[in-house]
């Protein structure tokens, strides 16, 4: 009796963790030795991933995905040492333990993807923990300037500015600075390693989830849509996304389709809503509030018909914010 009850719970848990949004993915436990095959993701629920000290998945001969408390980073093994791409706030100790679990080589550098402390804030803690070693801090001039202008003081200061290409101990990375939606300075890195291309592109796609609130609090929703199109057009095999699971083109495709639907339903709402019907009272704010809320509510209802079933909790938290942020970005530009 008890066994069958637990078996049922197990089956339900499996169902909830393997419900893919797009594409046919294979879910296996994280492995620091076996290279993840195409469309292979790391098994386990978001809750399990959050409470484990760390998980390591090998992506190619020298490139590893490390996940700590719902944040993901990339580690690259060079000829003599290890390079980390990002060091999220609150993960530093676990990241150092994770690196030790798959290599004896020392950490020698950290690259910043963008000037958000939640993704790079523990670089200072890592520098302090490895006080005997010089840890180089790499970033584009754009990221360094954003850290200064936003007064982001938690991360360690940048010591080396990187350009369009960036060499590290036998590896040459392509630095892509044309991702401007999440933040102006957001930088993706393309890493080619023994026949595999890994892209480190942060806060753009949450594999196996709807996107976070307001598409991860985009600074510019239209630029974000363009970022997703750019991600689709680039040539790569597997993505380190910053959160959730490993990402593939099928995950990006899902977001691209979702954004297209948001925009289509906003256009349908605009075609239907009549400004004159909201032209009441003395405040122009109230006319626009009535009119724009009608459009946003219409588009949100259409999105619910298509996307809510099976992910009601998530949809009800984030979907309205997706429609709203995209609506205002489109409205301002008459798109
Ligand atoms: Zn961010």
Statement to judge: residues 6 and 122 lie in one domain: yes
Q: What is the pLDDT of residues 220-272, one digit of tens each?
A: 999 999 999 999 999 999 999 999 999 999 999 999 999 999 999 999 999 99
Looking at residue 18, its pLDDT comes to: 40
Q: Which residues sit opposite 197 in a β-bridge?
A: 192
Is the model's pLDDT at 70 over the cut of 60? yes
- d(CA 129, ligand 1 centre) in Å: 25
End-of-domain residue from the set 222, 247, 272: 247
Locate tokens 């020698």: which residue?
108
Is the model's pLDDT at 2 over the cut of 70? no
Q: Is 253 domain-assigned?
A: no
Looking at residue 150, its pLDDT comes to: 95
Statement to judge: residues 217 and 310 lie in one domain: no
Statement to judge: residues 221 and 147 lie in one domain: yes
Is the model's pLDDT at 12 over the cut of 90? no
Longest dimension (CA), the chain: 71
- d(CA 80, ligand 1 centre) in Å: 30
Q: Is 48 domain-assigned?
A: yes
Distance CA 250, CA 146 (A): 32
Statement to judge: residues 299 and 179 lie in one domain: no
Distance CA 34, CA 267 (A): 47
- d(CA 132, ligand 1 centre) in Å: 30
Distance CA 200, CA 183 (A): 15
Statement to judge: residues 166 and 271 lie in one domain: no
Contacts of 314 (CB under 8 A, 6+ apart): 209, 210
Looking at residue 86, its pLDDT comes to: 98
Statement to judge: residues 264 and 232 lie in one domain: no
Is the model's pLDDT at 10 over the cut of 90? no
Is the model's pLDDT at 6 over the cut of 80? no
Distance CA 244, CA 248 (A): 12
Statement to judge: residues 47 and 98 lie in one domain: yes
Q: Is 82 domain-assigned?
A: yes
- What percentage of the chain exceeds 70 in pLDDT? 93
- Look at the chain and report how many structural domains it folds into: 2
Q: Is 252 domain-assigned?
A: no
Statement to judge: residues 270 and 211 lie in one domain: no
- d(CA 185, ligand 1 centre) in Å: 10
Statement to judge: residues 263 and 177 lie in one domain: no
| Three-class DSSP labels, the chain | CHHHHHHHHHHHHHHHHHCCCCCCCEEECCCCCCECCCCEEECCCHHHHHHCCCEEEECCCCEEEEEECCEEEEEEECCCCEEEECCCCCCHHHHHHHHHCCCCCCEEEEECCCCCHHHHCCHHHHHHHCCCCCCEEEECHHHHHHHHHCCCCCCCCCCEECCCEEEECCEEEEEECCCCCCCCCCCEEEEEECCEEEEECCCCCCCCCCCCHHHHHCCCHHHHHHHHHHHHHCCCCEEECCCCCCECHHHHHHHHHHHHHHHHHHHHHHHHCCHHHHCCCCCHHHHHHHHHHHHHHHHHHHHHHHHCCCCHHHHHHHHHHHHHHHHHHHHHHCC
Which residues sit with Cβ closer than 5 angstroms to ligand 1, an ion? 116, 203
Q: What CATH number is attached to the domain comprising 28?
A: 3.60.15.10
Statement to judge: residues 78 and 124 lie in one domain: yes
- d(CA 10, ligand 1 centre) in Å: 34
Distance CA 144, CA 255 (A): 29
Looking at residue 334, its pLDDT comes to: 87
Looking at residue 304, its pLDDT comes to: 98
- Phi and psi at 207, nearest 5°, equal -55, 140
- d(CA 325, ligand 1 centre) in Å: 16
Looking at residue 13, its pLDDT comes to: 39
Statement to judge: residues 65 and 26 lie in one domain: yes
| Boundaries of domain holding 284 | 258-333
Q: What is the pLDDT of residues 76-113, one digit of tens each?
A: 999 999 999 999 999 999 999 999 999 999 999 999 99
Q: Is 151 domain-assigned?
A: yes
Q: How far is CA 182 from CA 195, 258, 280, 318, in A?
A: 30, 17, 37, 16
Q: What is the pLDDT of residues 275-326, one digit of tens each?
A: 999 999 999 999 999 999 999 999 999 999 999 999 999 999 999 999 999 9
Q: Is 108 domain-assigned?
A: yes
End-of-domain residue from the set 225, 247, 269: 247
Q: Is 187 domain-assigned?
A: yes
End-of-domain residue from the set 187, 219, 247: 247
Q: Is 192 domain-assigned?
A: yes
- d(CA 117, ligand 1 centre) in Å: 8
Q: What is the pLDDT of residues 33-63, one digit of tens each?
A: 999 999 999 999 999 999 999 999 999 999 9
- d(CA 203, ligand 1 centre) in Å: 5
Looking at residue 206, its pLDDT comes to: 97
Statement to judge: residues 276 and 319 lie in one domain: yes
Q: Which residues sit opposite 219 in a β-bridge?
A: none
Looking at residue 23, its pLDDT comes to: 59
Q: What is the pLDDT of residues 158-207, one digit of tens each?
A: 999 999 999 999 999 999 999 999 999 999 999 999 999 999 999 999 99
């Amino acid at each position: 009796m008890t066994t069958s009850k637990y078996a049922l719970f197990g089956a339900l848990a499996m169902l909830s963790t393997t419900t893919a949004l797009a594409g046919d993915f294979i879910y296996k436990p994280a492995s620091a030795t076996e290279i993840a095959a195409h469309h292979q993701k790391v098994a386990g629920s978001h809750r399990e991933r959050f409470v484990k000290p760390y998980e390591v998945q090998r992506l190619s001969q020298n490139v590893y995905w490390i996940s700590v408390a719902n944040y993901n980073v990339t580690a690259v093994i060079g000829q003599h040492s290890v390079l980390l791409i990002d060091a999220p706030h609150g993960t530093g100790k676990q990241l150092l333990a994770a690196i030790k679990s798959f290599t004896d080589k020392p950490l020698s550098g950290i690259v910043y993807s963008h000037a958000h402390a939640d993704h790079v804030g523990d670089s200072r803690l890592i520098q302090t923990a490895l006080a005997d070693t010089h840890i180089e801090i790499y970033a584009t001039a754009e990221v360094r300037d954003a850290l200064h202008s936003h007064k982001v003081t938690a991360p360690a200061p940048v010591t080396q500015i990187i350009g369009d290409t960036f060499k590290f101990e036998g590896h040459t990375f392509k630095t892509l600075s044309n991702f401007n939606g999440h933040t102006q300075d957001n930088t993706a890195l393309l890493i080619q390693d023994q026949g595999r291309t890994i892209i480190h592109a942060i806060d753009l796609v949450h594999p196996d989830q709807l996107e976070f609130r307001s598409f991860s609090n985009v600074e510019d929703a239209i630029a974000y849509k363009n970022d997703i199109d750019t991600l689709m057009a680039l040539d790569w095999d597997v993505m380190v996304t910053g959160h959730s699971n490993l990402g593939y083109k099928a995950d990006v495709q899902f977001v691209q389709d979702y954004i297209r639907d948001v925009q289509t339903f906003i256009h349908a709402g605009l075609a239907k809503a009549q400004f004159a019907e909201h032209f009441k009272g003395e405040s122009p704010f109230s006319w626009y509030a009535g009119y724009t809320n009608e459009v946003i509510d219409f588009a949100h209802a259409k999105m619910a018909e298509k996307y809510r079933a099976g992910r009601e909790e998530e949809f009800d938290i984030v979907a309205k914010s997706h429609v709203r942020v995209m609506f205002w970005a489109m409205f301002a530009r008459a798109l």
